[in-house]
């Protein structure tokens, strides 16, 4: 029996032939769409969609080539191993005359990892042929059924020099379908190396259309970030640590009658630092005025720093005030603060 495993170059060529054929068909559609676009600009979306399809298909073929070639080689090696381990079953007899049947051919069910089956015919031409697994057990071919009503199909075959014509007729509803298969011998031509370069090699390492758009978007974002950095200079911010923060606020708060200002233990989230604070109002102000006084001092003193008062702001109960501050150190956060300072300064 034939050996399935071929040379490595055979599998490479078969893959490249398929690639070239499909890309040539897509290229033809793309060229036709381009001509229509030149005569009518409304056809531009159709041209662009076909161009994207052409590029993405070429990239996909290039990326999947090595894996597909390896899989095809492994599948053919598996077939050869099965044939070596499973000789043609013996003593296969006709159901009609009990004569020993003649081996005709073998096949594998399915595209990948399908089992091996053998075909036998009766020397006295009794039908049907018999199909068995490698272990000699019969393989029952599933009955063909009508896609319209589910009835059983009667299949007939007619062969000409150039075509194999298959006709399926439903015994229940009478629906008939015909299929023509070209069996004319094809002249196997070597791959044009210019085609291989254009449709196969040149797509190696290329990006899909979507990946190109993502790259452009990332480049645009990088450009926008640089523009922001140039516009909003956060290097002028006062980068206060927790000790400097307390020193910045304490004296000013005392001047306004806000005593016993203190921090709780800070919490670090890696991205920023948060710290709860409290103070006591010695001026016996009403709630609204007391909160307003503390908030004004904090926002004024920290306006040009890396610290901000957190929502919901400051709470008040019997002259006791409390709240939470957040300190930033990452560039993107400092940039937002610098933008905030810039915008408020312009008002």
pLDDT, residue 240, reads 93
What are the domain boundaries of the chain? 142-187, 235-346
pLDDT, residue 177, reads 87
Predicted TM-score of the model (pTM): 0.58
Mean pLDDT by 10 residues, the chain (347 residues): 89 96 95 89 87 93 96 94 92 94 90 86 91 90 82 82 82 86 73 95 91 70 54 75 92 92 91 93 92 94 92 92 93 85 72
DSSP E strand boundaries for 70-223:
102-108, 116-121, 130-133, 153-159, 163-170, 176-182
pLDDT, residue 229, reads 53
| CATH code for the domain defined by 142-187 | 2.20.25
Domain 235-346, what architecture?
2-Layer Sandwich (3.30)
Q: Are 249 and 297 in contact (CB under 8 A)?
A: yes
Q: SS3 helix, strand, coil % of the chain, rounded to 5?
A: 45, 25, 30
Q: Distance between CA 147 and CA 144 in Å, rounded? A: 9
pLDDT, residue 271, reads 85
pLDDT, residue 218, reads 61
Same fold: 142-187 with 235-346? no
pLDDT, residue 193, reads 95
pLDDT, residue 279, reads 95
Q: Are 304 and 238 in contact (CB under 8 A)?
A: yes
């Amino acid at each position: 029996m034939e050996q399935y495993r071929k040379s490595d170059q055979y599998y490479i060529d078969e893959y490249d032939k398929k690639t070239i054929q499909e890309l040539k068909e897509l290229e033809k559609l793309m060229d036709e769409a381009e001509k229509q676009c030149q005569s009518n600009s409304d056809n531009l979306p159709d041209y662009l969609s076909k161009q994207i399809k052409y590029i993405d298909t070429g990239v996909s073929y290039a990326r999947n080539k090595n894996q597909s070639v390896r899989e095809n080689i492994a599948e053919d090696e598996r077939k050869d191993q099965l044939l070596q381990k499973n000789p043609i079953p013996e003593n296969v007899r006709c159901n009609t005359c009990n004569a020993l049947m003649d081996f005709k051919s073998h096949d594998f069910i399915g595209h990948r990892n399908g089992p091996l089956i053998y075909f036998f015919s009766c020397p006295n031409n009794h039908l049907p042929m018999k199909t068995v697994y490698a272990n000699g057990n019969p393989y029952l071919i599933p009955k063909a059924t009508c896609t319209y009503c589910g009835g059983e199909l009667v299949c007939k075959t007619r062969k000409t020099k150039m075509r194999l014509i298959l006709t399926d007729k439903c015994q229940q509803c009478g629906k008939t379908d015909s299929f023509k298969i070209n069996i004319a011998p094809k002249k196997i031509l070597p791959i044009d190396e210019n085609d291989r370069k254009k449709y196969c090699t040149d797509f190696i390492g290329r990006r899909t259309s979507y990946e190109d758009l993502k790259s452009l978007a990332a480049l645009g974002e990088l450009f926008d970030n640089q523009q922001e950095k140039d516009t909003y200079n956060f290097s002028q911010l006062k980068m206060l640590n927790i000790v400097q923060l307390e020193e910045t606020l304490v004296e000013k708060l005392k001047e306004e009658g806000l005593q016993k200002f203190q921090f709780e233990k800070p919490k670090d989230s890696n991205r920023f630092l948060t710290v709860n604070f409290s103070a006591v109002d010695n001026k016996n102000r009403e709630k609204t005025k007391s909160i307003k006084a503390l908030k004004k001092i904090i926002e004024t003193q920290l306006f040009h720093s890396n610290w901000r008062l957190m929502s919901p702001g400051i709470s008040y109960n019997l002259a006791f005030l409390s709240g939470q501050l957040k300190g930033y150190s990452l560039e993107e956060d400092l940039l937002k603060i610098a933008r905030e300072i810039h915008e408020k300064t312009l008002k």
